[in-house]
Structure 1
Amino acid sequence: MKCCIVLQAGMLKRNFKILVFALFLSPAILHAQEIDSALINYNLIDSYPQNAAVYVNDELTGNTPLYFMWSDSTFPKTLRIKYKGYIEESETVNSSGIFSKKYILKPSGRNLLINPVKADKNTHFETKRKVFPIVLSSLVTAGSGIAAFYFKSEASKNQKNFDIYGDPAELDKKKDNNLIGNISIVALQLGFGALMYFLFLD
């Protein structure tokens, strides 16, 4: 008896799920079927690229992708597909049957964006670079950069030693190292500026 009650409860639960599915999903399915059946009676014009203007007998009908119906029963009709920078496509439709077509538009060669970077791209300098000034300024830049790092690090060590041991000589060393470090930084900037000049401006 208990087993029968459990089985009946399971069947009721399953039937309830089916009922909910029918109530909520069936209208959506029917609506989708109505849309599909409605679109069956429409003409379709698409293109690549999309958003091309579609003209029927010189009258703008819309832009691709375009679903539409013939405005009257007079045939033949002339279709024209226009998109800026592409060759215009045209076609004559002789009957009122459903028309469906996708046009692959070809570039006309006009009004197309040209990448100025690629157009003027050159992997070589137009004039021959002066080797000696470039090498010299590179060495000055590298050497002064290394010197600036070294002497600034030494000045930092001098300060730490003074804080720990209180030796006044460490402060004198710190001043000297800071001075040389600052001079090296100036030399670094001058060397780098000279390098950029001889590479790109001279």
Structure 2
Amino acid sequence: MTKIIFIIFLYTLIIYSQENKGIISIELTNDNSVVIINDSLKFYSSFKKAFPFGDYKLIVKENKNEWGSEFQEYSFTLSEQNNYFDKKFNIDNKVFIDSYPSDAEVTVNDSTIGYTPLSVSLSSQNILITKENYNPQKLISPKEINYVKLESNFVKENKSFLETYLFETLIGTAVALGATAAYFKIQADNKYDEYIKSRDKSLLDQTEKLDLISGTAFGLLQINIGALIYFFLNDN
């Protein structure tokens, strides 16, 4: 008798559990998508399954392999009155595009859709990547992941050495050093003349100091002139 009661109880429990379930039917048009139910169950393809009555949160991510990809979210309740949830998600396959350097403008059919890195629909046509001072790149057949290296179109201005700031600096420095050397040489000669007349040893010391300054300036002037000659002869 006990066995019969247990079997009846078990059968009733099975019937009750079946009666308290609804159906969730999901159709995905993108094989890369993932369906997450209540932040735990994951499905990577279309499905039709029975679930207990209750509240559900459904998240569909466009790309299961891409962190931070776009997603769609739905909340619904399965109950005796609403025991069937049916949804089709028309999600385009996406391709990931990045560039070096990044922050390049991406246009599809002459319309700007954003800046790298970003994802675009695989069905997009005429994908063009542009950035100032770089040659534009066109993606003919985009892959799932695309890394585009942009080539600089910056043209170095070919100036003559005589037109450069370096030439102006060296000329200005040469004039200043020449004037300095001449000035202190004149001062040294004057002090030496005074020394000859007075035989004051302090005047001789001043003469030597002025000669040293004049000689140093003259030495730097020679280096300066040497640099001018070097850059002038190597100017292309």
TM-score band (shorter)? 0.3 to 0.5
Structure that is richer in helix per residue: 1
Q: Which has the larger radius of gyration?
A: 2
TM-score of the superposed pair, with normalisation by structure 2 = 0.34
Structure 1 length-normalised TM: 0.39
